[in-house]
Amino acid sequence: MRIDPPLAGDERATLASFLDYHRDTLAMKCEGLTGDQLRLRAVEPSSLSLLGLVRHLADVERAWFRIRLNGEDLPPIFFTDAAPDDDFDALDTAPAEEVFATWKAEIELARKISAETDLDALMKRPNRAGEHMSHRWILVHMIEEYARHNGHADLLRERIDGATGE
């Protein structure tokens, strides 16, 4: 269930609520679909699918919150350096229930780290360009990341069964 962000919350509550709203939007777009429907690709040559989006965002949650912000030494979940697009591409045998459980677990860990970290704190591990963004920047970026992919999810869901809406 999605909860609307507060209309007059403080900065942390507003950022966290908007991110959760977008996380819940993606979950809503995937509700009630079979594993095969979740694997359905957009249109050639795109490999985009709802299940691929969930896999991708599980890795995005891990990368920004656990690896970069918190400094944990972890590998990606659904891709490798040798196969950098496997979060979207390697779906044929991916059990949807396990993918969603992994995504939700990464979200919970990200929430915990975020709640314990000052908004001005810089990430402990730099990005690929050697930059150290603030926790605040990461939250805004994650909102943008989910919002963009939720637009993809809208189109994918409409293609699958005609469902439209927020």
Task: Please report which confidence band the pLDDT of residue 130 belongs to, taking 50, 70 and 90 as the band edges.
Answer: very high
Could you tell me the fold of the domain covering 11-161? Answer: Four Helix Bundle (Hemerythrin (Met), subunit A) (1.20.120)
| Nearest-angstrom CA–CA distance, 59 and 160 | 24
For the chain, the C-alpha Rg in angstroms (whole number) is 16
Task: Please report which confidence band the pLDDT of residue 115 belongs to, taking 50, 70 and 90 as the band edges.
Answer: very high
Taking alpha carbons only, the member of 50, 47, 80, 76 closest to residue 63 is 76
Strand-pairing partners, residue 134, are 122
Structure tokens at 14: 């507003």
The tens digit of pLDDT for each residue in 37-96 reads: 999 998 878 889 999 999 999 999 999 999 999 999 999 999 999 999 989 988 888 899
pLDDT recorded at residue 29: 96
| Nearest-angstrom CA–CA distance, 63 and 109 | 12
Buried b (16+ CB within 10 A) or exposed e, 81-106: eeeeebbbbbbeebebeebbebbeeb
**Domain coordinates in residue numbering, the chain:** 11-161
Helix axes 50-61, 96-115, angle to 10 degrees: 30
Q: How far is CA 104 from CA 61, 99, 100, in A?
A: 10, 9, 6
Task: Please report which confidence band the pLDDT of residue 164 belongs to, taking 50, 70 and 90 as the band edges.
Answer: confident
pLDDT recorded at residue 11: 96
The length of the chain in residues reads 166
pTM beyond cutoff 0.85: yes
Taking alpha carbons only, the member of 163, 161, 154 closest to residue 36 is 161
How confident is the model over 115-140, as a mean pLDDT? 96
